[in-house]
A and B are shown apart, each in its own frame.
Chain A
Amino acid sequence: MRDLRVAVESKEILKGIDLTVEPGRVHALMGPNGSGKSTLAFALAGHPGYQVLGGSATLDGADLLELAPDKRAKAGLFLSFQYPAAIPGVSVANFIRTARQSVRPEDLNPAKFRKLVFDKLDTLDMDPAFLGRYVNDGFSGGEKKRLEMLQMAILAPKYAVLDETDSGLDVDALQSVGRSVNALRESDEGKDIGFLVITHYPRILKHIPADVVHVMIDGRIVKSGGPELADEIERDGYDGVRASTSSAQAEVAAARV
């Protein structure tokens, strides 16, 4: 992402984002509510309600912003939704089969696909009865997030954006999500996936260790650093980061003057 600016209903939310996620690395994007984190996720995935005002977003050289949502997925982008939509009447099995065939046509025969699905269910400790249920229809918060993880594992994208995957999860469900991400990262298919983990709380990073942590406030990334930045947020809160960055910015501004 280079200087990415995005508006929702004509209101500028993202005010110039510069961020690069490398294959196989985990970037955490942290920030208080309303800072624009989820806007970034939706804009990357191509939600029609988000207008890109300027800047660029590319995926391995492809211009994402030119592509329809499904083409972005085919290019290798995966978004795990904070609030995944229900699709009543469409079974999980049918949905993930259709998705996999769309993203990777002619790549698996039915028997192999079945084996893949059952392997992933096993890794995620999910009941195969899940497959017969309708997509997210009547699912609990934890079940929805597990289904997102199942789809991510089956689609094996190049880059995955996890939008507040920890929100609404209890400790067990959070551990399960962490295990599934780590299992994917340890697999052949998943070892090169670049992750952007969007979160409000540092706790998910205990389960999915980040290589780089970014802090977003008011539509801008105000600070980037190593995993220790998450600890700092845990200790001082976003107000602490805000105070230190505003004084730092003031110094920069003063130096320019």
Chain B
Amino acid sequence: MSSGTETRGTLAFAPDAASLDAALASLAEHGDAHDAALRREALARFEELPAPGARPSRGWKYDYAKLPYEDLAWTFGRVELPAIPPGPAVPPRARADETGDVDRPALATENAGGLYHLGATFVDAPGNVDPRVTLLPLDATTARDFAAQIEPALHHVVDWRADMFAALATAFRNCGAFVYVPAGVQVDLPLQLIFANGEARDEAVFPHVVVVLGKGARATVIERHVGDGDPFVCGIAEAHLAEGAELDYVAVQQAGEAARVMFSRGARCERDAQVRWHLAELGGALARTVLSARLEAPGARAEASALFFNTGTQHVDLTSGADHIVGPTFSDTVVRSAATGRGQGRYVGNIVIRPKAHGSDASLRDDALLLSKRAHIDSIPALEIAANDVKAFHGATVGSLDEDALFYAGSRGIARAEALRLITLGFFEPVIARFPGESLRDEIRTALDRKIDDATELGA
């Protein structure tokens, strides 16, 4: 972009030491090297850890040992653009032509500010950030300036030592965001983190999002993956919630149709803090998501509302977890998934209630809908309860379309395709209804509707 400055490193990516050395050298050249030792340690861990899905590990359907990394570019950089006008506007799309010009994104819903990345390049165009909030790219400067605030969360929530892709993300981080909402500050409008990809080149994008909420703070963060490119995204989002804080964290994945998006998201909740995950996996060819919550003090609460809808040959692996470390703590998980065509999915729901978590209450509900003969979804709820005097519920169903409901709609003049659309959208509604804000809910409904259209056109 002609009006801004740009610093950018570019190199061919491979998940190995040579690639990491080159990346670190490139970062150092631009004064952005930090955590070099940790990154090397993380890469070593990545190489040690077994790939999920490879036998005999359970829980992941895709065999991640076969995941190819060819033809990916690892980049980082910064482009300065004129301020983005405050939203709301059309859903964000991103394009980059050969000259690197960026068609600036709109921040889809009304918002209290946003951060935008095109590939791993931070596009510096904050328009309307709520002045009470810190919203910055997570680079060396931010890490230094906000060391005290970042420390409780960065590398301390998502356990990269236990997860191959969290380790890879830690090693190769090339972009990210830091959201800090000080004690007592309540932000009503959402903060948006947009990760977009143009069509220019397949990029390896390793975002790291850190959200820190002070005592009694409240915020909504929307993480979006959009664009027509086909990146390999491997990221981490970590949140630390001080006493009484409340976080709605929304992730809407609408990446390009060949994109692969791996994301581990975790939260630590102190006394009476509440995290609410809202996840919609809609795009990409392969998505792997971990949502987790550590409930560390009495009164802490985690909710998870997640949906995915796999069409064509899409594959989604989703794991959610709530770790009740002390009691009483609370978790409530609702997952709805559907697949058509040759869509594949797996959901694993882990609830752990530890010995000291007396009086805790955990509920886990997941339902899957199969819309074609070749679609497949596995559903694996797992409860591990080591405390007495707890309430724990789990229920799971896998089913196909209700023919009685289809006939009923037909008897009202509603053609089969339209009835199928209504019933399928209705199936997701219990999860959509838990997303914050009507404009966001409508956006999800519209996106699902479009997927149903596409699936119908493909004759799935």
Residues on B with beta carbons closer than 8 Å to the beta carbon of A69: 407, 410-411
B427 beta carbon closer than 8 Å to chain A: yes
Residues on B with beta carbons closer than 8 Å to the beta carbon of A87: 402, 405, 408-409, 422-423, 426
In the complex the two chains form, is A102's CB within 8 Å of B414's CB? Answer: yes
B418 beta carbon closer than 8 Å to chain A: yes
Residues on A with beta carbons closer than 8 Å to the beta carbon of B403: 48
Residues on A with beta carbons closer than 8 Å to the beta carbon of B131: none
Given contacts A48-B403, A85-B408, A86-B405, contact A99 B413 (CB under 8 A): yes
Interface SS of B by simple majority: helix
Residues on B with beta carbons closer than 8 Å to the beta carbon of A73: 410-414
Nearest CB in chain B to that of A79: its residue? B411
Give B440 Cβ to nearest chain A Cβ, in Å.
17
Number of residues on chain B facing chain A (CB within 8 A)? 24
Residues on B with beta carbons closer than 8 Å to the beta carbon of A68: 410, 415-416
In the complex the two chains form, what is the Cα distance from A47 to B425 in whole Å? 23
In the complex the two chains form, what is the Cα distance from A69 to B427 in whole Å? 23
In the complex the two chains form, what is the Cα distance from A69 to B405 in whole Å? 12
Residues on B with beta carbons closer than 8 Å to the beta carbon of A47: 407
Residues on A with beta carbons closer than 8 Å to the beta carbon of B427: 88-89
Docked complex: A69-94 residues within 8 A CB-CB of B: 69-70, 72-74, 78-79, 81, 84-90, 94
B404 beta carbon closer than 8 Å to chain A: yes
Residues on B with beta carbons closer than 8 Å to the beta carbon of A45: 407, 411
User: Chain A 206-227, CB within 8 Å of chain B: the 1/0 string?
Assistant: 0000000000000000000000
A46 beta carbon closer than 8 Å to chain B: yes
Give B299 Cβ to nearest chain A Cβ, in Å.
32
Residues on A with beta carbons closer than 8 Å to the beta carbon of B426: 87-90, 134
A95 beta carbon closer than 8 Å to chain B: yes
In the complex the two chains form, what is the Cα distance from A88 to B410 in whole Å? 16
B429 beta carbon closer than 8 Å to chain A: yes
In the complex the two chains form, is A46's CB within 8 Å of B422's CB? Answer: no
In the complex the two chains form, is B407's CB within 8 Å of A98's CB? Answer: no
Give B176 Cβ to nearest chain A Cβ, in Å.
36
Give A145 Cβ to nearest chain B Cβ, in Å.
14
Number of residues on chain A facing chain B (CB within 8 A)? 29
Docked complex: B27-71 residues within 8 A CB-CB of A: none
In the complex the two chains form, what is the Cα distance from A134 to B433 in whole Å? 13
In-complex Cβ contact of B413 among A74, A85, A88, A89 (8 A): A74
In-complex Cβ contact of A99 among B404, B412, B429 (8 A): B412
Residues on A with beta carbons closer than 8 Å to the beta carbon of B429: 88-90, 134
Given contacts A85-B404, A85-B405, A88-B427, contact A102 B422 (CB under 8 A): no
Residues on A with beta carbons closer than 8 Å to the beta carbon of B430: 88-89
In the complex the two chains form, what is the Cα distance from A103 to B402 in whole Å? 22
In the complex the two chains form, is A70's CB within 8 Å of B428's CB? Answer: no
Nearest CB in chain A to that of B424: its residue? A89
Nearest CB in chain A to that of B408: its residue? A85
Given contacts A47-B407, A48-B403, A85-B402, contact A102 B412 (CB under 8 A): yes
Nearest CB in chain B to that of A45: its residue? B411
Nearest CB in chain A to that of B422: its residue? A90
A121 beta carbon closer than 8 Å to chain B: no
User: Chain B 353-394, CB within 8 Å of chain A: the 1/0 string?
Assistant: 000000000000000000000000000000000000000000
Docked complex: A33-91 residues within 8 A CB-CB of B: 45-48, 68-70, 72-74, 78-79, 81, 84-90
In the complex the two chains form, what is the Cα distance from A70 to B422 in whole Å? 15
Given contacts A88-B429, A89-B427, A134-B426, contact A98 B411 (CB under 8 A): no
In the complex the two chains form, what is the Cα distance from A81 to B407 in whole Å? 11
Residues on A with beta carbons closer than 8 Å to the beta carbon of B412: 70, 73, 95, 98-99, 102-103, 151, 155
Nearest CB in chain A to that of B431: its residue? A89
In the complex the two chains form, is B425's CB within 8 Å of A81's CB? Answer: no
In the complex the two chains form, what is the Cα distance from A99 to B397 in whole Å? 29
In the complex the two chains form, what is the Cα distance from A94 to B449 in whole Å? 14
In the complex the two chains form, what is the Cα distance from A48 to B412 in whole Å? 15
Nearest CB in chain A to that of B404: its residue? A85
In the complex the two chains form, is A102's CB within 8 Å of B428's CB? Answer: no
In the complex the two chains form, is A81's CB within 8 Å of B408's CB? Answer: yes
In the complex the two chains form, is B423's CB within 8 Å of A90's CB? Answer: yes
Residues on B with beta carbons closer than 8 Å to the beta carbon of A46: 410-411
Give B441 Cβ to nearest chain A Cβ, in Å.
12
Residues on B with beta carbons closer than 8 Å to the beta carbon of A102: 412-415, 418
Give B127 Cβ to nearest chain A Cβ, in Å.
35
Nearest CB in chain A to that of B430: its residue? A89
Docked complex: A89-122 residues within 8 A CB-CB of B: 89-90, 94-95, 98-99, 102-103
Give A83 Cβ to nearest chain B Cβ, in Å.
9
Residues on A with beta carbons closer than 8 Å to the beta carbon of B410: 46, 68-70, 73
Nearest CB in chain A to that of B403: its residue? A48
In-complex Cβ contact of A48 among B407, B423, B428 (8 A): B407
In the complex the two chains form, what is the Cα distance from A11 to B407 in whole Å? 21
In the complex the two chains form, what is the Cα distance from A99 to B413 in whole Å? 6
In the complex the two chains form, what is the Cα distance from A190 to B48 in whole Å? 75
User: Chain B 421-447, CB within 8 Å of chain A: the 1/0 string?
Assistant: 011011111100000000000000000
Residues on B with beta carbons closer than 8 Å to the beta carbon of A98: 412, 414, 418, 422
In the complex the two chains form, is A89's CB within 8 Å of B425's CB? Answer: yes
Which A residues fall within an 8 A CB radius of B?
Answer: 45-48, 68-70, 72-74, 78-79, 81, 84-90, 94-95, 98-99, 102-103, 134, 151, 155
Which B residues fall within an 8 A CB radius of A?
Answer: 402-405, 407-416, 418-419, 422-423, 425-430
Known contacts A98-B412, A98-B414; 15 further A-B pairs (Cβ under 8 A): A68-B410, A69-B411, A70-B409, A70-B413, A78-B411, A79-B411, A85-B404, A87-B409, A87-B422, A88-B427, A89-B425, A90-B429, A95-B422, A134-B426, A155-B413
Task: List 27 contacting pairs A-B, 8 Å CB cutoff, sorted by A.
Answer: A46-B411, A47-B407, A48-B407, A68-B410, A68-B415, A68-B416, A70-B410, A70-B413, A70-B414, A70-B415, A70-B416, A73-B410, A78-B411, A79-B411, A85-B402, A87-B405, A87-B409, A88-B427, A89-B425, A89-B430, A90-B422, A95-B409, A98-B412, A98-B418, A134-B429, A151-B412, A155-B412
Sorted nearest first, the 3 A-B pairs with minimum C-beta distance are A89-B426, A89-B429, A69-B410
